[in-house]
């Protein structure tokens, strides 16, 4: 009888002891550092929202089985080193960013924390990784190879606005991102370009548009640059006010009032970044995860904006759009 009782009690005592030890040493919740050049804490924007959806699709619930430290640059590039240093000090398990300058700063700050990028440029040409197939080091992720689309964008613009005469390229003085690629493509298409550069976290966009009007620009491309992203809506409003057809370099940006865009699907790219985070948290090493390139590109037309600037989109061009905003 005593043996039977002990046989029942001992497993229970052992189970309670194990449970007590587990309670004292709960499983560590992974912490992610996410730094973006667009949005802010009150209005995170589509980049953060897409990444969050990607986490949810994989079964992650923020605050329960994953923690995300969000940081917003808000067009203030001088903040980047401090933000990166802070996240390194917090010992985040994975570092994520869609901003080239942030990825570069993170690479300089740590050789051990895995870094997931979702950038527009060529990470090999930028010196961030060794190759797309074998990144090397602690960086992997996705690239949209945005600059390689410059020629195709100008071709589409010429079809959307047949009487196009001069195209303004709005970019920031600090980086000059995209201007060179557009100049190369414009030479082949015989389309004159007008460089429109702005600077700082509070760029003088009104002055840039005055320069565009003086130069008789008939269409405008807003390059996807960190300084310009927080001002997407204002750029779109000024383009409408000046009746200038405006092309953005991102599908999600057209909804702010741009006329057209040609690019990979923004949301899909940022959702895919969550997949890399998941693989790394499950033990994969960045050096063994090939960098993804887009396989599908979207041509988006905003008909509402076309009406506001009294522009008729040729029917054959409209029929080719992957998405039409009405």
Higher pLDDT, 296 or 153: 153
| Angstrom distance (rounded) from CA 298 to CA 280 | 29
- Residue 251 and residue 198 share a domain: yes
Q: Where are the beta strands (DSSP E) in the chain?
A: 31-36, 67-72, 94-97, 115-119, 139-143, 167-172, 193-198, 219-222, 246-248, 260-263, 298-302, 323-325
- Predicted pLDDT at 266: 82
Q: What is the DSSP string of 81-144?
A: HHHHHHHHHTT-SEEEES-HHHHHHHHHH-SSS-EEEEESS-TTTTTS-S-SSS--TTEEEEE-
Q: Based on the domain organization, do 125 and 59 belong to the same domain?
A: yes
For residue 283, pLDDT beyond 90: yes
pTM, two decimals, is: 0.82
Mean pLDDT of 244-266: 91
* Structure confidence at residue 13 (pLDDT): 46
Residues 184 and 314 in one domain: yes
pLDDT of 286 over the 60 cut: yes
- Give residue-wise pLDDT tens across range 202-230: 889 999 999 999 999 999 999 988 778 88
The three-class DSSP label of residue 219 is strand
pLDDT of residue 45: 82
Examine the domain organization and report whether 126 and 170 are in the same domain.
Answer: no
Q: Is the Cα dihedral 37, 43, 48, 50 positive or negative?
A: negative
pLDDT at 63: 94
Whether 313 has a pLDDT exceeding 90, the answer reads yes
| Residue, of 8 and 136, whose pLDDT is higher | 136
Regarding whether 135 and 188 lie in a shared domain, the answer is: no
d(CA 119, CA 308): 32
CA count, 13 A, side-chain hemisphere, 292: 18
Chain centre distance of CA 309: 28
Same domain for 86 and 179, yes or no, is no
pLDDT at 22: 46
- Residue labelled with tokens 């090493």: 285
Split into its structural domains, the chain has a count of: 2
Q: Is residue 9 pLDDT above 80, yes or no? A: no
Together in a domain, 186 and 315: yes
| 175, 306: one domain | yes
Whole-angstrom distance, CA of residue 121 vs CA of residue 22: 46
How do residues 43-91 score in pLDDT, each as one tens digit? 888 889 999 999 999 999 999 999 999 999 877 788 999 999 999 999 9
Model confidence pLDDT, tens digit, residues 177-204: 778 889 888 888 889 999 999 887 788 9
In the chain, what percentage of residues exceed pLDDT 90? 65
Q: Are residues 204 and 243 in the same domain?
A: yes
**pLDDT value of position 26:** 62
Q: Say yes or no to pLDDT of 170 above 50.
A: yes
Full domain range(s) for residue 44: 31-144+266-288
pLDDT at 298: 92
Q: Quick one: pLDDT at residue 18?
A: 47
260-263 and 298-302 as β-strands: parallel, antiparallel, unpaired?
A: antiparallel
* Whole-angstrom distance, CA of residue 257 vs CA of residue 305: 6
Cα dihedral sign for 45, 51, 55, 58? Answer: positive
Decide if 194 contacts 214 (C-beta within 8 A). Answer: no
Same domain, 127 and 96: yes
> Which one is predicted more confidently, 246 or 184?
246
Instruction: State CA 141 to chain mean position distance.
Output: 12
Q: What is the pLDDT of residues 104-113, one digit of tens each?
A: 999 999 999 9
CATH number reported for the structural domain that contains residue 129 in this entry: 3.40.50.2300
Contact by Cβ (8 Å): 107, 128: yes
């Amino acid at each position: 009888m005593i043996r039977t009782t002990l046989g029942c009690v001992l497993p229970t005592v052992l189970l309670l002891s194990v449970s007590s030890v587990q309670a004292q040493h709960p499983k560590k919740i992974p912490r992610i550092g996410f730094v973006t050049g667009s949005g802010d804490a009150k209005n995170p924007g589509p980049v953060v929202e897409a990444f969050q959806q990607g986490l949810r699709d994989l079964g992650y619930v923020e605050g329960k089985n994953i923690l995300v430290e969000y940081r917003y640059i808000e067009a203030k590039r001088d903040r980047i080193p401090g933000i990166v240093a802070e996240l390194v000090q917090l010992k985040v398990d994975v570092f994520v960013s869609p901003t080239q300058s942030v990825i570069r700063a993170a690479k300089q700050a740590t050789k051990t924390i895995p870094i997931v990028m979702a950038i527009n440029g060529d990470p090999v040409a930028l010196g961030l990784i060794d190759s797309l197939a074998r990144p090397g080091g602690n960086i992997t992720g996705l690239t949209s190879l945005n600059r390689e689309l410059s020629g195709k964008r100008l071709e589409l613009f010429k079809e959307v606005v047949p009487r196009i005469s001069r195209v303004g390229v709005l970019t920031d003085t600090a980086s000059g991102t995209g201007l060179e690629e557009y100049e190369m493509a414009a030479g082949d298409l015989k389309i004159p370009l007008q460089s429109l550069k702005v600077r700082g976290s509070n760029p003088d966009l009104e002055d840039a548009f005055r320069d565009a009007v003086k130069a008789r620009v008939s269409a405008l491309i807003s390059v996807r640059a960190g300084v310009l992203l927080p001002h997407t809506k204002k750029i779109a409003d000024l383009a409408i006010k000046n009746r200038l057809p405006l092309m953005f370099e991102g599908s999600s940006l057209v909804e702010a009032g741009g006329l057209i865009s040609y690019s990979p699907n923004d949301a899909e790219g940022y959702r895919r970044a969550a997949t890399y985070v998941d693989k790394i948290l499950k033990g994969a090493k960045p050096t063994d995860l090939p960098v993804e390139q887009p396989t599908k590109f979207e041509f988006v037309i905003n008909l509402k904006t076309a009406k506001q600037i009294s522009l008729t989109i040729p029917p054959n061009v409209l029929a080719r759009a992957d998405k039409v905003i009405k």
